[in-house]
Structure 1
Amino acid sequence: MLGPLGILNASLIELGVGTITAWGEDSPTAEAARTIYPMVRDALLSSYTWSFATVDEDPVPVPTSEGAPKRFAIPNACLRVVTLTAGEDNRIKVPYRLRKPRHIVIRASAIEPDTITFIERVDESLWPSYFEQTMVIGVAARLCIPLTENDARRAALSTVLKNELSGARLIDAQSSTPQALEGVGDLIAVRS
């Protein structure tokens, strides 16, 4: 795996500009990268329920007054809340709203959630290659205008990014056991 500096330098090579040797380097390229890279990383991670970035945790209640809506803390590593669930096998979806300061709010009368599923900011060393490649193109597309001022190249990279993202989502969706349809066995048994 490339790591953050490797991903950035692969993006810079895509653009045809010089690479950098360290994040703290004092150059316009490094300065643009320090600004753009974290935004692209968080946006791409948040854009889909990636299997490598999806986490289930127990919700942590935040004290509220009686009768007030229930509140739960959003985990620090959370980029995007996916679901709040309860019940056996987490089959009951609990309606929620996100509120400041990093709270999940549900009605006072709502069932108590058992699990919060969210997308977390995953360390680059844990990224699969299909996501890493998507990130390389995403960073290149966002750095294109500040570093090359070439709008046609940025448009081309944006198209490549769209295709890379689509392919990465497809690969990721195939990286787990498909959900079985419940009751299908009963239908087949009835036909026999």
Structure 2
Amino acid sequence: MAAGDTSLSICSDALILLGAAPISSFTEGSDAAQACDRLYPDVRDTLLSNYLWSWSVQKQQLGRLSTTPVDEWKYAYQLPGDMLSGVIALFQSAGLGQSPVRYGWEIYGDQIYTNFEEVFIDYQASVAESKMPNYFVRLLRTAVASELAFVITDQVSKADYFRALAYGSPADSGRGGLMREAMNVDSRGKPPQIIEDYSLIDVRY
């Protein structure tokens, strides 16, 4: 894991790739800092959600809300605040050998409606930069450079160069370059496992 990485260090490294000076904070008032502050979160979250990275999968028991749905469902459960995309798998029990439940629940906004008395989910979470593996940080740094390139250098050629480095050619549909390398490295690791014992996981309300 890239323990020393932060959003600021990744943006500063992207600026250095472009031949610009690093920033000291997102609020320092420079054009580069303002561009990083506006563009970085979207680039990061898009890269995270475009592929099911094994290290971004979290397991959690959901807390039941006190409010009752107004439709046919009995219970409402709060989805995690750090969830990036849809629920990967849902279970109604924490016992061993449980299979995911495909029916009998629906997502409404940031809640799950169901008749199940307990709900456990696998989901893709937003991960802190310090917990991202090095191969992903390298991809993220290059992707940020591709988004900042024209703003910082006023050169379309630099934007095209870093975009191709990050994602490959247009024919790769965003799955080439460093993105492909990162996906290949991730796929060689341990795949995300379905939690079969939630006994040590606290319910979050």
Please tell me whether Structure 1 or Structure 2 has the larger radius of gyration of its CA atoms: 1
Show structure 1 runs of 5+ residues with no match: 180-192
2:102 corresponds in structure 1 to: 94
Q: Retained in 1: the 8 A contact 2:54–2:191?
A: no
Establish whether residue 139 from structure 1 lines up as the match of residue 148 from structure 2. no
Query: Structure 1 or 2: larger helix share?
Result: 1
Establish whether residue 43 from structure 1 lines up as the match of residue 46 from structure 2. yes
- The change in CA–CA distance for 1:104 and 1:91 in structure 2 (over 3 A counts) is same
2:184 corresponds in structure 1 to: 170
Q: Retained in 2: the 8 A contact 1:83–1:93?
A: no
SS at match of 1:60: coil
Distance 2:80 2:24 in 1: 34
- The change in CA–CA distance for 1:39 and 1:67 in structure 2 (over 3 A counts) is closer
Instruction: Let me know the Cα RMSD of the aligned residues.
Output: 2.5
Deviations along 1:157-177, one digit per CA (max 9) or x if unpaired, are 222111111111111121106
1:189 corresponds in structure 2 to: none
Between 1:76-85 and 1:36-45, the stretch displaced more is 76-85
Instruction: Give the percent of matched residue pairs that are identical in Structure 1 and Structure 2.
Output: 25
Distance 1:150 1:3 in 2: 27
Distance 1:71 1:151 in 2: 49
TM-score, with length taken from structure 1: 0.78
SS at match of 1:61: coil
Q: Retained in 1: the 8 A contact 2:79–2:111?
A: yes
Higher relative contact order (Cα pairs below 8 Å, separated by 6+ residues): 2
Distance 2:153 2:101 in 1: 47
Q: Report matched runs for 1:44-83 at 5 Å.
A: 44-62=47-65, 63-65=67-69, 68-69=72-73, 70-83=75-88
Letter in 1 for 2:188: Q
Q: Retained in 2: the 8 A contact 1:81–1:116?
A: no
Establish whether residue 119 from structure 1 lines up as the match of residue 124 from structure 2. yes
Show structure 2 runs of 5+ residues with no match: 168-176, 194-205
Deviations along 1:117-139, one digit per CA (max 9) or x if unpaired, are 11212111111101110110111
TM-score, with length taken from structure 2: 0.74
Establish whether residue 33 from structure 1 lines up as the match of residue 36 from structure 2. yes
